[in-house]
Amino acid sequence: MANSKTHHVIAYGSAIVDVLAEVEDAFLLTHNIAKGVMTLIDEHRAAQLYGAFGRPKEVAGGSAANTMAGLASLGARGCFVGKTKADRLGEAFFASMKDTGVDYATPASGDGPQTACCLIAVTPDGERSMNTYLGAARELGTGDVTEAAIAAAQVLYIEGYLWDAPKAKAASLKAIDIARASGTKVAFTLSDPFLMGRYRDEFLALLPKLDILFANEEEAKALFAADDFDSVLQAVRPLNAIAALTRSEKGCVAAKGGEVHVVDAVPVARVVDTTGAGDQFAAGFLYGLTHGFDLARCGRLGSLAAAEVISHVGARPVTPLKQLAASAGLL
């Protein structure tokens, strides 16, 4: 791609701080937390749970932001766009993005809802019950969309989660149109099977604008109303886009037109916490695409990044991915 591309990927996503507490199962009952799933909550409930969490651990999260952290860990140049408020959690998010080396300059809002947080109750069995207050992340707007930054990236990456916030969705659609006019490829992740219930038709209508579609098997089945994986594969093949389909322990399938690659998962000694597996897969895959790798190698790099993140607690890499990928002969 052209010299004018100073960044590999620019991502639009929710700027969320993960707030983690280790709790007993009884805590979930007392506080009416649905175990093992992600629930959207309001500000009142967020404040209530935050109080109950005692002395929680706070780390920057958010799906696309996690992906950008993974890309940075691989050595790519990335830029993140997502909304915080100028409050304590917002500052924490800014600091963490700076630590990863990702460019991040979306102005924090001075008023309105607080910085988004995901209150995660970790039970002794390792399950994570997530309560997400989207807050300021919903306030990302078309005014935050900078044409120059999109044009300067090889790929624009957008998380489907943003469709839950009307303003952020409008900003995403504007960004997509700019990307298409700027020679920037458009990548999109379906994010969560539940989103298909709310936005299936919108996502289907979006497909012709995409260059890369990320989806796990459940999300893709929901999007294409397919009963099995092969039906998904047959549905994506006529698309003009690369489909990068993740299948947990079954690995991934990457397809574009005549090309189909079936790539195994990278084995891990013990799966500790699957949070962020899809985010890191996208990081590895996008690194490969923006560095001229073929689809099979993109899939292998995605699988390697996912394997790293599921082998420990937390949604961002602990071991530098660049080092891991080099050892595996993928760089």
Q: Is 38 exposed, middle or buried (0-12, 13-18, 19+ CB in 10 A)?
A: middle
Contact 266, 259 (CB under 8 A): no
- Is 299 one of the binding residues for a copy of itself (CB under 8 A)? yes
Output 74 or 254, the one with its CB closest to a copy of itself. Answer: 254
Q: How far is the CB of 266 from a copy of itself (least distance, A)?
A: 11
- Is 228 one of the binding residues for a copy of itself (CB under 8 A)? yes
Contacts of a copy of itself in 250-279 (CB under 8 A): 250-251, 253, 255, 258, 260-264
Rg of the chain over CA atoms, in angstroms?
19
Output 116 or 255, the one with its CB closest to a copy of itself. Answer: 255
- Is 42 one of the binding residues for a copy of itself (CB under 8 A)? no
Output 299 or 317, the one with its CB closest to a copy of itself. Answer: 299
Q: How far is the CB of 191 from a copy of itself (least distance, A)?
A: 23
3-state helix, strand, coil in the chain (%, to 5): 45, 20, 35
Q: How far is the CB of 238 from a copy of itself (least distance, A)?
A: 11
Q: At what angle do helices 63-74 and 88-100 cross, to 10 degrees?
A: 30
State which of residues 141, 146, 229, 291 lies at the interface with a copy of itself (CB under 8 A).
229
Q: How many CA atoms lie within 13 A of 139 on its CB side?
A: 19
Q: What is the 3-state secondary structure (H, E, C) of 88-109?
A: HHHHHHHHHHHHHCCEECCCCE
Output 266 or 282, the one with its CB closest to a copy of itself. Answer: 266
Q: End-to-end CA distance of the chain: give it in Å, rounded.
A: 19
Place of tokens 């458009």: 186
Judged by CB under 8 A, the stretch of 4-12, 46-54, 111-119, 247-255 that binds a copy of itself is 247-255
Output 83 or 221, the one with its CB closest to a copy of itself. Answer: 221
- Is 52 one of the binding residues for a copy of itself (CB under 8 A)? no
- Is 233 one of the binding residues for a copy of itself (CB under 8 A)? yes
Output 87 or 218, the one with its CB closest to a copy of itself. Answer: 218
Measured at the alpha carbon of residue 258, what is the angle toward residues 256 and 264, in degrees to the nearest 5? 60
Output 42 or 230, the one with its CB closest to a copy of itself. Answer: 230
Q: What is the spatial distance between Cα 233 and Cα 27, in angstroms, rounded to a whole number?
A: 42
Contact 116, 15 (CB under 8 A): yes
Q: How far is the CB of 284 from a copy of itself (least distance, A)?
A: 15
**Which residues would be at the binding site for a copy of itself (CB under 8 A)?**
228-231, 233-234, 250-251, 253, 255, 258, 260-264, 296, 299
